[in-house]
A and B are shown apart, each in its own frame.
Chain A
Amino acid sequence: MTRILDARPLTPVTKLFVLESPLIAASARPGQFVMLRVREGGERIPITIADYDRAAGTITIVVQEAGATTRRVCALEKGDTLLDVAGPLGSEIDLPPGGHICGVGGGFGSAALLCLMRERSAFGDRTTTILGARNQDLIILADDLARVSDRVYVCTDDGSAGFHGFVTDRLARLIDGDGLGRPDAVVAIGPMAMMRAVAETTRGYGIKTLVSMDPLMVDGTGMCGGCRVMVGGQPRFACVDGPCFDAHEVDFATAMRRNKAYVREEKVASERAGCMSGRR
Chain B
Amino acid sequence: MPVQDAQARARNFLEVNSGYTNARAAFEAERCLRCQHPLCVDGCPVRIPIPDFIHAVAAGHMASAADILRSANPLPAICGRVCPQESQCEAECSMGGRFNPVGIGHLERFVADWERTQPVTVQPALTKSQKIAIIGAGPSGLVCAGELARLGYPVTIYEALHAPGGVLRYGIPEFRLPKAILDWEIDLLRAMGVEIVCNVIIGKTLTLDDLTNRLGYAAIFIGTGAGLPQFLNIPGENLNGVYSANEFLTRINLMRAYDFPNADTPVRVGKRVAVVGAGNTAMDAVRTALRMGADEAMIVYRRSDEEMSARAEEYEHAIEEGVQFHWLTSPVEVIDDGSGWVAGLRCQQMRLGEPDATGRRRPVPVPDSDFVLAVDNVVLAIGTTPNPLLTRTTSGLATTTRGCLLADEATGLTSKTMVFAGGDAVTGAATVILAAGAGKRAARAIDAALAAQLL
CB of A44 within 8 A of CB of B388, answer no
CB distance from B277 to the nearest CB of A (A): 14
Q: Which residue on B lies nearest to A68, using beta carbons?
A: B264
8 Å CB contact of A42 from B170, B206, B207, B264: B264
Within 8 A of A (CB), among B325-375: 340
Instruction: State the majority secondary structure of interface residues on A.
Output: mixed
Check if A257 is an interface residue, CB within 8 A of chain B: yes
CB of A224 within 8 A of CB of B244, answer yes
CB distance from B266 to the nearest CB of A (A): 4
Q: Which residues of A contact B205 (CB under 8 A)?
A: 23-24, 27, 86-88
CB of A262 within 8 A of CB of B268, answer yes
CB of B264 within 8 A of CB of A224, answer no
CB distance from A251 to the nearest CB of B (A): 8
8 Å CB contact of A240 from B162, B241, B263, B388: B388
In the complex, A219 Cα to B160 Cα: how many Å?
9
- Identify the interface centre among A85, A221, A261, A272: most chain B CB within 10 Å of its CB: A221
A218 and B162 in contact, given A27-B204, A240-B389 (Cβ under 8 angstroms) = no
A69-111 CB mask vs B (1 if < 8 Å, else 0) is: 1000000000000011111110000000000000000000000
Q: Which residues of B contact A272 (CB under 8 A)?
A: 261
Q: Which residue on B lies nearest to A255, using beta carbons?
A: B238
Within 8 A of B (CB), among A264-280: 265-266, 268-269, 272-273
CB of B198 within 8 A of CB of A84, answer yes
Q: Which residue on B lies nearest to A72, using beta carbons?
A: B264
**Chain A residues with a Cβ closer than 8 Å to the other chain, count:** 41
Within 8 A of B (CB), among A228-251: 228, 230, 235, 240
A-B interface contact total, Cβ < 8 Å: 120
Check if A41 is an interface residue, CB within 8 A of chain B: yes
In the complex, A245 Cα to B348 Cα: how many Å?
35
Q: Which residues of B contact A219 (CB under 8 A)?
A: 160-161, 170, 250, 254
Q: Which residue on A lies nearest to B264, using beta carbons?
A: A43
Check if A258 is an interface residue, CB within 8 A of chain B: yes
Q: Which residues of A contact B170 (CB under 8 A)?
A: 219, 223
Check if B227 is an interface residue, CB within 8 A of chain A: yes
CB of B238 within 8 A of CB of A224, answer no
8 Å CB contact of B261 from A87, A228, A269: A269
CB of B200 within 8 A of CB of A86, answer yes
8 Å CB contact of A223 from B238, B246, B256, B266: B246
Q: Which residue on B lies nearest to A221, using beta carbons?
A: B160
CB of B264 within 8 A of CB of A269, answer yes
CB distance from A276 to the nearest CB of B (A): 11
Q: Which residues of A contact B268 (CB under 8 A)?
A: 261-262, 265
Check if B262 is an interface residue, CB within 8 A of chain A: yes
8 Å CB contact of A69 from B246, B262, B264: B264
